[in-house]
Amino acid sequence: MTDIGIHPEPRREARQAPQTYNGALAPKVRLDSNLDISVVMPCLNEEAAIEKCVETALASIAATGMTGEVVVVDNDSSDDSAGLAIAAGARVVREPVRGYGRAYLAGLAEARGRFIVLADSDGTYDFTAVGRFIEPLTNGTDLVIGTRLRGSIDDGAMPWLHRYVGNPLLTRAMNLLHSTRFSDVYCGMRSIKREALSQLNLAAPGMEFALEMLIEAERAGIRIGEIPIRYRRRLGGTPKLRTWRDGWRSLRFVVSQTRRTAVPYVASSSTIAAVTPAPSESSP
C-alpha cells in the first residue's frame, strides 16, 4: 500500500493547482485564511448531485454563523462535476488517481477549517446536517460519525445486502477486533477536528479509508461520538462501491489491522457516545 499520508501533502505536483474559490457565488460565507469549517466531498462523476450538495453545504455553513468553505475533490471525473462544483461555489482540488481514500487524502490536505465535515457528493447524505456535525466538536468531541442504521434509510437508498448483511457484519467485526462500539462503520458522513485528524495515520487509498479512520481514532484515544442520520437515494450516477470486492477487501483490512493493535494504546471505547438524541432530520 502506498503511503500517501496527510502530512506531508500528497504528490501536489501530480495535481492541477486548486481552483480559486468563487466567493461571489456564495456571498453569505466569509472566506478567511483560517476558516472554521471545511466541508470536503470526494467526487467521481457525480454530475447529477454535486451542485445541490455544494449549495446545501454552503448554506448550512452560513447558518452556523461560522466561516467556511466547500472543497470538492474531483477524482478523474469524465463528466462536468468539477465545473458544476465551481459554479456552485466550491473550491475544486484535483486528484487524478482514482480511489475513495486518495480523494480524501488530497482534499483533507487542502482543507483550511479547524472543523472538517466529510461526506459523499452523490446526494445520499443530508448537508443540512452540517451544523449538527459541528456542534459536538465545539463541546469536547473530536470525531463524529453518522449512523444510518440507527437513523433512517429511505426506500431504495441502500441495497438489502449492504443493510442487513455487509454493514452489520463489518461493524461487528470492527467492534470485536478493535474494541470499538460503532453502529455503522461505513457511514460516510463524519466530522473531525483538524488537530485530531493530524493524530491519525491515514494512508488507505481505497474504500478502506473509511475504516482506517475509525481504527486510527480508536488507537489515538480521541473522543468519538455518533449521531443518527437519514440516508437517501443517490440523486443519479452510479454507485462506485462494488459489493463483493469492496466487502471482502474491507473485512480483510479490519482483520489485518488487529496486528498493529497489539501495541498498547489508550482504550477509549467507553468514550463513544450518542452526542445527540434520536434522528431529528425529517427534512425533505
Ligand X SMILES: Nc1nc2c(ncn2[C@@H]2O[C@H](COP(=O)(O)OP(=O)(O)O)[C@@H](O)[C@H]2O)c(=O)[nH]1
Could you give the string, one character per residue 210-239, with x where binding to ligand X holds by CB under 6 A and - elsewhere?
A: -----------------------------x
**Nearest-approach distance from CB 269 to Mg ion, in angstroms:** 27
Could you write out the three-class secondary structure of the chain? CCCCCCCCCCCHHHCCCCCCCCHHHCCCCCCCCCEEEEEEEEECCCCCCHHHHHHHHHHHHHHHCCCEEEEEEECCCCCCHHHHHHHCCCEEEECCCCCHHHHHHHHHHHCCEEEEEECCCCCCCCHHHHHHHHHHHHHCCCEEEEEEEEEEECCCCCCHHHHHHHHHHHHHHHHHHHCCCCCCCCCCCEEEEHHHHCCCCCCCCCCCHHHHHHHHHHHHCCCEEEEEEEECCCCCCCCCCCHHHHHHHHHHHHHHCCHHHHCCCCCCHHHCEECCCCCCCCCC
Residues numbered 115 to 154 that lie near Mg ion (CB under 5 A) are 120, 122, 124
- Out of 36, 46, 110, 208, name the contact with ligand X by CB under 6 A: 46
Residues in the chain: 284
Q: Which is nearer to ligand X, 44 or 215 (CB)?
A: 44
Q: Which is nearer to Mg ion, 69 or 122 (CB)?
A: 122
Q: Which is nearer to Mg ion, 29 or 158 (CB)?
A: 158
- Out of 38, 60, 67, 75, name the contact with ligand X by CB under 6 A: 75
Per CB under 6 A, does 44 bind ligand X? Answer: yes
Q: Can you tell me which residue has the cell 455553513?
A: 61
- Out of 82, 207, 220, 224, name the contact with ligand X by CB under 6 A: 207
**Nearest-approach distance from CB 207 to ligand X, in angstroms:** 6
Q: Which is nearer to ligand X, 103 or 217 (CB)?
A: 103
Q: Which is nearer to Mg ion, 66 or 103 (CB)?
A: 103
Choose the one of ligand X, Mg ion, none that binds residue 171, judging by a C-beta under 5 to 8 angstroms depending on kind: none
Residues numbered 109 to 168 that lie near ligand X (CB under 6 A) are 120-122
Choose the one of ligand X, Mg ion, none that binds residue 52, judging by a C-beta under 5 to 8 angstroms depending on kind: none
Residue 130 phi/psi, 5° resolution? -50, -45
**Nearest-approach distance from CB 225 to ligand X, in angstroms:** 21
Q: Which is nearer to ligand X, 27 or 236 (CB)?
A: 236
Distance of alpha carbon 183 from alpha carbon 258, whole angstroms: 19
CB atoms within 10 A of CB 156: 9
- Out of 240, 249, 261, 281, name the contact with ligand X by CB under 6 A: 240
Distance of alpha carbon 281 from alpha carbon 217, whole angstroms: 27
Q: Which is nearer to Mg ion, 181 or 240 (CB)?
A: 240
Count, residues near ligand X per rule CB under 6 A = 17
- Out of 43, 170, 214, 220, name the contact with ligand X by CB under 6 A: 43
Chain residues in the site for ligand X (CB under 6 A): 42-44, 46, 75, 98-100, 103, 120-122, 188, 207, 239-241
Chain residues in the site for Mg ion (CB under 5 A): 120, 122, 124
